[in-house]
Amino acid sequence: MIDLVTGAAGFLGSHLCDALLARGHEVIGLDNFFTGRKENVRHLLGDPRFELIRHDVTSPILLEAGRIYHLACPASPIHYQYNPVKTIKTSVLGTIHMLGLAKRVKARILLASTSEVYGDPEQHPQRESYWGRVNPIGPRSCYDEGKRVAESLMVNYRAQNGVDTRIARIFNTYGPRMALNDGRVVSNFILQALRHEPITIFGRGEQTRSFCYVSDLVEGVALMMEQDGFAGPLNLGNPQEVTVLELAETILRLTGSRSKLEFRPLPADDPERRCPDVALAREKLGWEARVPLADGLRETIAHFRRELKA
């Protein structure tokens, strides 16, 4: 059986390709290299079971596959706000094209959705049954609403066309191969700490996030794909909630950095609290995140050190 991974040269996509190949699968990766890099999958290019195709999912494609992991979409606010119309097209047209393909070749398809569908939530922690609080005209809407439409497409292709779908709602994930310039909080703080530059805290740093290490996340995604009879949506994330300030302090300690904290204005619509309720993942998949934040950060810091040297 062939696995198709869209967004294969990105952060999560490249780790997912590693994991699927390690399980003995054949993998076709699609990417338009907007935020992904060939470097992320260079070590796979000699593997006869791996094929990388330059393709933009806003155009249709015809391929044979048994499983489609649909990850293509920029994920960091800086990247998805760079060309918001393109972000919407990627989520909406990209998901329509991948669902059309799944329907045609009878593949099972998993959407990499996001905790952003909950917007700036009034319920805490967020359960799958919560509908969210998203500003449809705010700066994050191209991403949040794009993913909400993508979820609706998944549900409706399932009901109307019998496509075998899975919706994974992924919470903030970090690890090696995050793009250095992606502006996300973990990559920003590690880079700033390693360069002894000021750590840029947006707002007062009291907002929270829950960070999941990439190996845990990829395991959850692969398990969900192979789970029969449960379409989701399903939260995948680490429920250990930390403030942005606590994250900065942990990274300063682990890097031994001399960086000072610098407070900057909070971006519009920045969610105040975010933490997954993972009871359903435990029940349906027997899955939960295992890597503690400090351990995952150590691995990520080591990777960033190597990248900076190179």
Catalog residues that contact ligand UDP under the rule CB under 6 A. 76-77, 172, 184-185, 188, 200-202, 207, 209, 244, 267, 270
Q: Count other C-beta atoms under 10 Å from residue 54's C-beta.
A: 11
- CB under 8 Å to 226, separation ≥6 — which residues? none
Q: Which of 143, 157, 174, 213 is catalytic?
A: 143
- Of 29 and 77, CB closest to ligand UDP: 77
In the complex with ligand NAD, the residue whose CB is nearer, 56 or 277, is 56
Is the link from the previous residue into 276 a cis peptide, with omega within 30 of 0?
A: no
The owner of tokens 């059986």 is 1
E strands, the chain, are 2-6, 26-31, 50-54, 67-70, 108-114, 164-170, 173-174, 199-202, 208-210, 212-213, 234-236, 241-243, 261-264
The answer to whether 290 and 216 have CB atoms below 8 angstroms apart is yes
SS3 255: helix
**Smallest gap from residue 251 Cβ to ligand UDP (A):** 11
Kindly tell me which residue out of 44, 71, 154, 218 binds ligand NAD, with binding defined by CB under 6 A: 71
Question: At 195, which amino acid appears?
Answer: R
What is the nearest approach in angstroms of ligand UDP to the Cβ of residue 241? 12
Q: Could you say which of 5, 17, 27, 31 contacts ligand NAD (CB under 6 A)?
A: 31
How far is it, in rounded angstroms, from Cα 295 to Cα 279?
23
Q: Which does 112 bind (CB under 5 to 8 A by kind): ligand UDP, ligand NAD, none?
A: ligand NAD
Instruction: Indicate whether 74 belongs to the interface with ligand NAD (CB under 6 A).
Output: yes
**Is 143 annotated as catalytic?**
yes
C-alpha distances in Å from residue 62, one per residue of 30, 93, 249, 306: 12, 15, 48, 39
163 or 170: whose CB is closer to ligand UDP? Answer: 170
Q: Which listed range, 67-75, 133-141, 189-197, 288-296, lies at the site for ligand NAD (CB under 6 A)?
A: 67-75
Any contact of residue 41 with ligand NAD (CB under 6 A)? no
Question: How many CB atoms sit inside 10 A of residue 252's CB?
Answer: 18
- Per CB under 6 A, which of residues 45..64 are in contact with ligand NAD? 56-58
A 10 A CB-CB count for 210 gives 22
Contacted entry of ligand NAD, ligand UDP, none for residue 216, CB cut-off 5 to 8 Å set by kind: none
- Note whether 276 binds ligand NAD by CB under 6 A: no
Q: Are strands 208-210 and 241-243 parallel, antiparallel or unpaired?
A: antiparallel
Interaction residues for ligand NAD, span 84-113 (CB under 6 A) = 90, 94, 112
CB of 204 to ligand NAD, least distance (A): 23
- Binding residues for ligand NAD (CB under 6 A): 7, 9-13, 30-36, 56-58, 71-75, 79, 90, 94, 112, 114, 170, 172-173
Question: Catalytic amino acids?
Answer: 143
